[in-house]
Amino acid sequence: MSPGVQSIADLTTETSPTSGEIPPPLVGASTIVVNNAMYVFGGRLVSSRQMTNHLYVLDLTTLVWRRHVASPDSTPAPQPRYFHSANTYKNHMVVFGGMSHSNSSNINNNNPQQELCALDDVCLLNLQTMTWTYPEIGPSIFSPQPRYAHLAVITTAQDKLVVMGGQDMANQYIKEINVLDLKTFVWIQGCPLEGQYGAYRSVICSPRLNDPTLKNNNSPFTLPAASSTSSTTSTSTGNNNPTTTTTTNPNATTPDDDSSNLPICVYSNYNFADVARDLQIFYPLRNQWPQYRDHSAEMSGASLPPGLRFPMGHLLGHHMILTGTYLTPTHRSFHIWALNLANLVWMRIDTGATFSSGSWNRGVLAEDDHHKFYVLGHRDRDLLEDYNRRQVNFDHIATVDMEAFGIYLHPPSTCAPIAQELGLSMLNEPSMSDIELITFDKKSIPANSSILSQRWPYFSKLMASPSASNMSSSGSNGSNGVEIGGGIQKSNSHPNNMNEHGDSYYKSLAFPENYPVALAFLQYIYTDHLMTAQQHQPHILSRLLILADMYQMPRLSQLATHALHQILTISTASMVYETAALTCRTALQIRALRVMINAKKMLQQQQQMMQQQQEHAEEVGRRPSYENPEYSSSFQRIPSQDSSEDPFATGIIPSSSGGNPTLRKLATSKSSTTHDLASSSANPPVPRMSKSGTMLSTHTHPPASVVSSTTSSKFRKGSITALHANAPPSPATKERPNIGIRF
């Protein structure tokens, strides 16, 4: 890349310096992000080699550090430690284990050569009151062995802390798994562990099985069969006659018991000279001896992660984010990778030149809806020097937008499918309506004003205005109140909605969209989802996202953005880009831009290949026929560059039966990250029809007739027309994107 030219990868990452009470360089400190703050606890000072129990907080808005100093009458902080674990649980930071001094109450700061010990305690920090608590752990045969540099993960749905592996003071790996119930604070499970797992080489995560992406039959998290009973086998060798006794536990969990369906996914890399990658999945609560399922051979991708030192793992949606330091004699940098847990395909998170220089040491995921990944470090230090000291710096922070790579939390479902079908049935029932929407193309759609008010804030304010609240009957003159939109008027189209004087009590609203968009908008209002084939047409999704931005409807904005991510292909990239630009969806805009740039590069490569073939054919044609007898009978005409023969000139993706396979791969590689899109583009899914004839089980593309029949006029100024002077003002309007596809 020439100097001064910016890569699109650089648009996804932003680097900033921090200020305030910046933590000193630390070894083995813990870092978590909750809401809009980052918390750093413990660690060992690089300068003096002394352990610390200091707590630092970074405001992620102002990027200002402050050291938290508790009041004198508050509970003291835990004893100093490093290489402990810290996890988030219901607005608490849960700290377990680590290495500390054997007599921390009499620490002599001038004597760093003190006896060390491993810990097995549990400490909780309330992130609202910033106070420490030390729960009383009940006695249990499953209590863990003291350890440090272990793996730990909390499953909020099951309220469990899972501690795995780690090392003891003899630097021997601890081969056991322990599970703590965070409601009762009792260790409820302990089982042996195969292999060596620790913070130097492994990461752990617990996927959420309610994610619909992980429920398909090809997912590695499909639950294995399990019996309703479990057995424990013991062997006795007394009198040199071994005997076996089997005890059955009738209270063992079954696959239908949600408390037992606690999946643990562990990824390890080791032997960095010839890196080995290991992926294990198991369910520690299903029985005392969990079955480990090895999925190492199933991992794939355009490239696989190299050996990363001190890796860290995070879960975002159905992706496991893997970060770590990559060091070779010729290369040193901080790497970010993502593993799609639905199909075990790896993807490199290309952040451009951000991490190619400087010392970047620690990655932390923001566990909220912002999809931000933060990397701590110092952009002017040497990575190899800091790695040799195991040093983490806090002077600079880099922010990576993971949504720009198609990795984000999918919108959750708010109601059951049967409830969504019921909503569509209500929309199709005119007797339950008391208002009608008049579309831009002069069509009407009956609706219920109470339902509109619940999920449409602008309409709710409109109905609460004095013009709407002053309605009263006025006899036979047909005037039943103050006009809203088209006004309350007599309507022969609704003979069942007449009062005793023969006057219609329908209210009407002018909606500045055509009928398909208005219908899709009402379908969302009635179901709180985008579930019909009508709603998932690309041009309608674009209009829904613009309406959501205009009327400040976060739920609709989230659903429409997610749906546009799913339909992003070469043919829709330009429209998605324009819509994202209008609605300030930067991550979606960057992702669409990447698809368009890659498409242009692939087209240029195809044209160069075709030109070379033409030149070769012309050169062969100039040779005497006796020198090339085979060309006289088998030579075929090379396709021309005319737009009628170039499928991309019309924006149509080549079919799976012909065309360039590389272009077909591009058309599907960036459109979705939830399943194998190469196969889905070859066999487009058929939507499942509901009783109302509009149910959809997957996304579909609009027929050409729908796109070509849309109106070519610009977006009209204004929104819903409120004719009364006291009605609330309409929100700001946006022009329709002029992108070649008319609405």
Domain CATH number, residue 560: 3.30.710.10
Bridge partner residues of 446 (DSSP): 436
How many angstroms separate the CA atoms of 102 and 104, rounded? Answer: 6
Single out the residue of 316, 92, 121 nearest to residue 205, CA to CA.
316
The structural domain count of the chain equals 2
Sort strands 276-282 and 293-294 into parallel, antiparallel or unpaired: antiparallel
612 pLDDT exceeds 80?
Answer: yes
630 pLDDT exceeds 90?
Answer: no
Identify the domain boundary among 370, 395, 410. Answer: 410
Q: What is the pLDDT of residue 705?
A: 38
Q: What is the pLDDT of residue 700?
A: 42
Q: What is the pLDDT of residue 722?
A: 41
448 pLDDT exceeds 80?
Answer: yes
Kindly indicate the confidence band of residue 260, based on its pLDDT and cuts at 50, 70 and 90.
Answer: low
Angle at 419 between CA 413 and CA 422, to 5 degrees: 140
Mean pLDDT, range 211-232, rounded to an integer: 58
Pair 482, 555 in one domain = yes
Pair 348, 446 in one domain = no
Read off the pLDDT of residues 333-381 as tens digits, 9 standing for 90 and up.
Answer: 999 999 999 999 999 999 988 998 999 999 999 877 678 999 999 999 9
Q: What is the mean pLDDT of the chain?
A: 77
Pair 385, 489 in one domain = no
How many angstroms separate the CA atoms of 297 and 561, rounded? Answer: 34
Q: Provide the phi-psi class of 718: left if phi over 0, else alpha when psi is between -120 and 50, else beta.
A: left
Q: Is residue 44 part of a domain?
A: no
Report which of residues 162 and 486 the model is more confident about. 162
663 pLDDT exceeds 70?
Answer: no
Q: Is residue 405 part of a domain?
A: yes
Q: Is residue 148 part of a domain?
A: no
Cβ neighbours of residue 695 under 8 Å, at least 6 residues apart? 421, 424, 531, 532, 687, 688, 689
How many angstroms separate the CA atoms of 169 and 164, rounded? Answer: 16
Q: Is residue 699 part of a domain?
A: yes
How many angstroms separate the CA atoms of 244 and 236, rounded? Answer: 7
491 pLDDT exceeds 80?
Answer: no
694 pLDDT exceeds 50?
Answer: no
Kindly indicate the confidence band of residue 624, based on its pLDDT and cuts at 50, 70 and 90.
Answer: low
Pair 218, 335 in one domain = yes
Q: What is the pLDDT of residue 632?
A: 43
Kindly indicate the confidence band of residue 51, based on its pLDDT and cuts at 50, 70 and 90.
Answer: very high
Measured from the Cβ of residue 711, the count of other Cβ atoms closer than 10 Å reads 12
Cβ neighbours of residue 553 under 8 Å, at least 6 residues apart? 455, 456, 457, 547
Pair 429, 405 in one domain = no
Q: Which residues of 655-688 are buried (b: 16+ CB within 10 A; e: fewer)?
A: eeeebbeebbebbbbbbbbbbbbeebbeeeeebe
- Structure tokens that stand for 454 in this block: 């619940």
Instruction: Give the orientation angle of helix 515-527 with respect to helix 538-550, to 10 degrees.
Output: 70
User: What does the DSSP 8-state code read for residue 722?
Assistant: -
Pair 471, 499 in one domain = yes
Q: Is residue 217 part of a domain?
A: yes
Pair 582, 722 in one domain = yes
Q: Cα–Cα distances in Å, from 402 out to 143, 315, 582, 606?
A: 38, 12, 21, 31
Mean pLDDT, range 222-240, rounded to an integer: 41
Sort strands 176-181 and 160-164 into parallel, antiparallel or unpaired: antiparallel
Pair 609, 728 in one domain = yes
Instruction: Give the orientation angle of helix 661-669 with respect to helix 586-621, to 10 degrees.
Output: 180
Q: Is residue 634 part of a domain?
A: no
How many angstroms separate the CA atoms of 178 and 196, rounded? Answer: 15
85: exposed, middle or buried (Cβ count in 10 Å: 0-12, 13-18, 19+): buried
pTM higher than the cut 0.85: no
Domain coverage including residue 285: 209-225+258-410
Pair 344, 444 in one domain = no
288: exposed, middle or buried (Cβ count in 10 Å: 0-12, 13-18, 19+): middle
Pair 399, 495 in one domain = no
Identify the domain boundary among 410, 427, 449. Answer: 410
717 pLDDT exceeds 80?
Answer: no
Mean pLDDT, range 55-77, rounded to an integer: 94
Q: Is residue 231 part of a domain?
A: no
